[in-house]
Amino acid sequence: MSAAIHQPRASTFRALRSSRFAWVWSGQTISRLGDGAYMTALAWAALQITGSATAVGALLIASAIPGLVFILIGGVAADRYSRRRIMLLSDAGRALTLAIIAALGMAHILQLWHLMVMAVIFGFVRGFFTPAYQAVIPELVEEEALASANGLTGISQTIGGLIGPSLAAGLITVSSANAAFAFDAASFVVAALCVLPAGALDSPAATAPVEADSAETSGQPPRPRGLRGVLAESRDGLTYILGSGWLISTIVLPLFANPLLVASSPVALPKLIQAVWRQGAWLYGLDGSVFAVGSLLGLLVFSRVRPKRRGVACFVMGAIAGVAMLGFALPVTRPLEPALVAGVALVTGFTLNSFNLIWLTTVQELVPRDKLGRVFSIDALGSLALIPVGYAVAGVLSDQFSPIWVFVIAGALEITTSLIGLSIRAVRDLR
């Protein structure tokens, strides 16, 4: 890999030289802490109300489905309307929703259906916010600072995932889940306020003529409206992706490996640790912590350096992750099991987040800005749609055969898709 990487070209924190990005990123970093607290508080509140783990699963499904349904519309909106306004409305809407939930809890009238409505709203909003935020980053920083901006965004997500749950646990211990909901509401208020100093963040199409008479004078047909317009613009984004060899490869190939890869840790690893190795929950906690460390290392490295052949770098990272997953099939002794878990977590955290950072920066640099929202939303749709399948398959394999088979098959799929990616010329030529 050393021959395929340029020398460092920028500081990890270079993007913060842009005051506009610094404001938005600071607000989102605080919001990520709230997000980490939100998931813990949501599960705890649901269990307190119902005493059922099934209720928690239902809440997660209620949150996921609207995101799948509206992600394409969100991508079109991010390319057609003001991305700043989408982000403001998203943060403000979530803050208001959480404030209402916290108030209901403090009044001791909170019910499961209230949490269900909140989960649906959050899933809906996420479908709009995510493509808008990813597409707006090139408007906030210069091209040379894109890797830094994406790296900082990933770092804030990782830190939020590490600190947020502990923060929620502390608030729940001292007060209740309502305090965690209130904290998350406040974090969204801060995020919305931090978008304001960034100024206008309109998409390239937001200022284009949309009225029929304006279109006629320019010689162009008017853009279709409503559902027909959404479908037409989504189709335009898909056509662009299909016309790019490197883009279709880096979006489609991971779809075959990612579902089982994502499901391996939350579904198969706990059973491997508990039922096969007869170890305690501390070992599962070690996996999450070390994975976060690996993620941070990958983000720090590739926010500073740029691979010469970015397509090759992405799929080499994928292949390394696949090899690491196969490590769980090794017949290690009990004293070496923690070392194996930590090693796999460190390698996969580093490689998978490096892949994501390199890909995200490449898309932002090479895809036309008026198509960024749709490209990101189509990629997210494919990634999210198959994750439930991965959970189901991982569960069946773990229960009917052995959790080790989940890691073996996930690793083999990751290696195979990575080798296919490396065999594609458009991927190898991507610089």
pLDDT of residue 201: 56
Residue with tokens 């099939």: 329
pLDDT for residue 334: 83
Give yes or no for residue 10 having a pLDDT over 70. no
Residue environment code for 307-346, b if the CB has 16+ CB neighbours within 10 A, otherwise e = bebbbbbbbbbbbbbbbbbbbbeeeeeeeebbebbbebbb
**Does CATH number 1.20.1250.20 belong to domain 237-428?**
yes
Residue 173 confidence class, pLDDT cut points 50, 70, 90: confident
pLDDT per position as a tens digit, 279-307: 776 777 677 778 888 888 988 888 888 88
Rounded Cα–Cα distance for residues 310 and 246 (Å):
10
What are the helix (H) ranges across 81-176? 83-106, 112-140, 146-174
The number of residues in the chain equals 431
Same fold across 2-199 and 237-428: yes
163 CB burial (10 A radius; 0-12, 13-18, 19+): middle
Q: Is the pLDDT of residue 229 over 70?
A: no
Q: Where are the domains of the chain?
A: 2-199, 237-428
CA distance 4 to 399: 42
Q: 2-199 domain in CATH 1.20.1250.20? A: yes
Give the number of other Cβ atoms within 10 Å of residue 213's Cβ. Answer: 9
Calculate what percentage of the chain has a pLDDT beyond 90.
18
Q: What is the residue-averaged pLDDT of the chain?
A: 81
Between 52 and 71, whose confidence is greater? 71
DSSP state letters, 320-339 = HHHHHHHGGGS---GGGHHH
Segment 342-349 mean pLDDT: 92
For residues 133-149, average pLDDT: 85
- Indicate yes or no: pTM above 0.85: no
